[in-house]
């Protein structure tokens, strides 16, 4: 009995279907392996006040923060014009004279949480990790190493950090006439509730 040969075109079609199926399955697996949590309403505030002078402080409540739960990579982005001051004139000077926000519209933090693993997070228990990375501000990028407190609450991840920066290393010029009214180190506070993407 003569054996029937399978047409070459049919073999190629079956091969292509198998390859496409494997590619699709692999992409699903990769998506499942990467757990990302994020928010677009994170809060960054800063204080540069000096005793006996008018408080200098502002808050930005539209900050994007993303955390990759598998790798511990973290990134945050804030638009400089998103900072709100209690005094309108301060906000104007901040954007035009100090931050030059038309030319440098964004502030970003990127880095990795040292020692972070998904299993390190427990419900309602806060743990402190060190974020080693960079802060880009006013067109200048500098290395940073800052503490980040993280906890899991229900379906969300809570994140907070407090640190200080020296405006001078980011080429932010403070005129001599107001230098004694502005702190040498600016205190920054970050708070965010992240949800699974």
Q: What is the pLDDT of residues 34-93, one digit of tens each?
A: 689 999 999 999 999 988 788 899 999 999 999 999 999 999 999 999 999 999 999 999
In the chain, % of residues over pLDDT 70: 83
Is the pLDDT at 112 greater than 90, yes or no?
yes
Q: What are phi and psi of 186, to 5 degrees?
A: -95, 125
Q: Please state, in angstroms and rounded to a whole number, the distance separating the CA atoms of residues 48 and 186.
A: 5
In a domain? residue 12: no
In a domain? residue 113: yes
Q: Are 106 and 77 in contact (CB under 8 A)?
A: yes
pTM for the full predicted model: 0.79
Best CA proximity match to 165, nearest among 130, 128, 140: 140
pLDDT band at 29 (very low <50, low <70, confident <90, very high): very low
In a domain? residue 86: yes
**pLDDT at residue 26 in the model:** 44
In a domain? residue 19: no
Which CATH number covers residue 137?
Answer: 2.40.128.110
**Lookup: tokens for 55:** 């408080």
Number of domains in the chain: 1
**pLDDT at residue 123 in the model:** 82
Residue 155 domain boundaries? 35-196
Best CA proximity match to 70, nearest among 26, 112, 130, 123: 112
> For 125-139, what is each residue's pLDDT tens digit?
899 999 999 999 999
**Lookup: tokens for 31:** 């998506």
**pLDDT at residue 10 in the model:** 58
């Amino acid at each position: 009995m003569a054996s029937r040969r399978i047409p070459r075109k049919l073999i190629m079609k079956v091969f292509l279907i198998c390859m496409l199926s494997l590619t699709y399955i692999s992409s699903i697996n990769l998506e499942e392996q990467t757990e990302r949590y994020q928010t677009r309403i994170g809060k960054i505030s800063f204080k540069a006040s000096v005793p006996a002078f008018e408080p200098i402080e502002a808050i930005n409540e539209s900050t994007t923060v993303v955390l990759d739960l598998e790798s511990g990579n973290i990134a945050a982005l804030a638009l400089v014009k998103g900072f709100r001051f209690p005094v309108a004139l301060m906000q104007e000077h901040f954007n035009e004279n100090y931050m030059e926000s038309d030319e440098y519209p964004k502030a970003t933090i990127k880095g990795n949480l040292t020692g972070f693993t998904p299993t390190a997070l427990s419900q309602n228990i806060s743990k402190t990790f060190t974020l080693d990375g960079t802060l880009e501000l006013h067109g200048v990028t500098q290395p940073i190493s800052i503490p980040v407190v993280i906890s899991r609450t229900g379906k969300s991840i809570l994140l907070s950090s407090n640190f200080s920066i020296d405006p001078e290393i980011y080429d932010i010029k403070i005129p001599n006439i107001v230098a004694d009214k502005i702190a040498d180190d600016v205190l920054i506070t970050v708070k965010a509730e992240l949800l699974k993407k």
